[in-house]
Amino acid sequence: MADDQGNGNAARVSGIATADRSHVPQRRRAAFAACGAVLAGLLAVAAPAAAQERFSLYVPSPQSVAEAMAKMANVGKSDVVVDLGSGDGRIVTTAARLHGARGFGVEINPELVELASSLAKKSGVGDRVSFIHQNVFDTDLRKATVVNMYLFPELMRLLRPKLLNELQPGTRIVSHDFGLGTWEPDEQLTFFAPDKFGGAGADARISLWIVPAKIDGYWNWSLPVGGQSMAYASIVEQRFQVGEGIVRVGNRRGTFSDLRLRGDQISFGLRMTLDPGVSVMHEFRGTVKGGTIEGTARVTADGGKTVELPWRATRSTSTTYFQPTGLAAK
Ligand SMILES: C[S@@+](CC[C@H](N)C(=O)[O-])C[C@H]1O[C@@H](n2cnc3c(N)ncnc32)[C@H](O)[C@@H]1O
């Protein structure tokens, strides 16, 4: 009897929902597909309350999904791939076997930890991957460059702040089927996986998030526009990989458009009137490095030609944005 990874061992682990139904006649596969949907439903809705942090319902990702997740994350040799709730280890083992990555899985069920370690050895990647008996909330994620999850959705939501706190900007997070609450994925793909639920076949949805740099707060910079140095005082409000911004230049104010982050890469537009009354379009692009952003500003004043200027913004704990203008309203 072969499981989704073609080895048949997963079915021997006690107390675990396995999905091997290759012996089942074709006409009953539809019924199992429905069971699969119920399992997904169980993951989504009906896990026992006590299991919010610790539950051991095990449903392996099919091998086709493990491979698609590694491809979506563009896994390579230099990656450290982590699977939170690693089951029989196939996600990490596949990343090591097909893409030369290193990595580790963490798993609450000790029998699965043992199984994953022995399967990794059998596939010849035992020196590059390891499996740890641990609660996902206790895992140190700081060295991960790719994090995978196929977990109860509430568990994923509960992990979201940990992911955002510990992972470096640019780290890829990939999930099978479930999301991260209101954090929209950067990419998503749904496909029919014939090997899902032990060969019953079902749709699999995989999603990718790129951890964004943290840019919430006050940022200041200067640009030479129209022959004079202009000081920009901005306030940025971030929501995951998108944001909003407002800025004051002298006594004039403007709003950013289309502020986006992909890892540490930031871009946004700004059309505003600058003294002495010229409408200026700015296109900012840069790399966030902690408290600085370095890149370019393409600036086009009304009717003029576009100039590309070096742009260096610095984060500040204070802003001149709120200072009184001293101008009486007429
Ligand atoms: C749906 S299975 C996914 C297995 C594997 N990631 C895959 O895609 O094939 C979820 C796994 O997470 C484990 N798990 C659940 N809660 C956990 C927790 N709090 N800490 C560590 N592992 C957990 C379960 O025991 C189970 O093996």
Over residues 172-221, the pLDDT tens digits come to: 999 999 999 999 999 999 999 999 998 999 999 999 999 999 999 999 99
Helix (H) or strand (E) holding 261: strand 252-262
Query: In the structure, what pLDDT confidence band is assigned to residue 56 with cuts at 50, 70 and 90?
Result: low
Alpha carbon nearest to ligand 1 atom 20, residue: 135
Enclosing H/E stretch for 92: helix 90-99
In this prediction the pTM is 0.85
pLDDT band at 57 (very low <50, low <70, confident <90, very high): confident
How far is the centre of ligand 1, averaged over its atoms, from the C-alpha of 323 (Å)?
Answer: 53
pLDDT exceeds 80 at position 33: no
Contact predicate 145/81, CB 8 Å: yes
Instruction: Give distance in angstroms: CA of 85 to centre of ligand 1.
Output: 3
pLDDT digits (tens, 9 = 90+) for 60-76: 999 999 999 999 999 99
Average pLDDT rounded to a whole number, residues 87-109:
97
Nearest CA to ligand 1 atom 19: 54
> CA nearest 88: which of 61, 64, 51, 68?
61
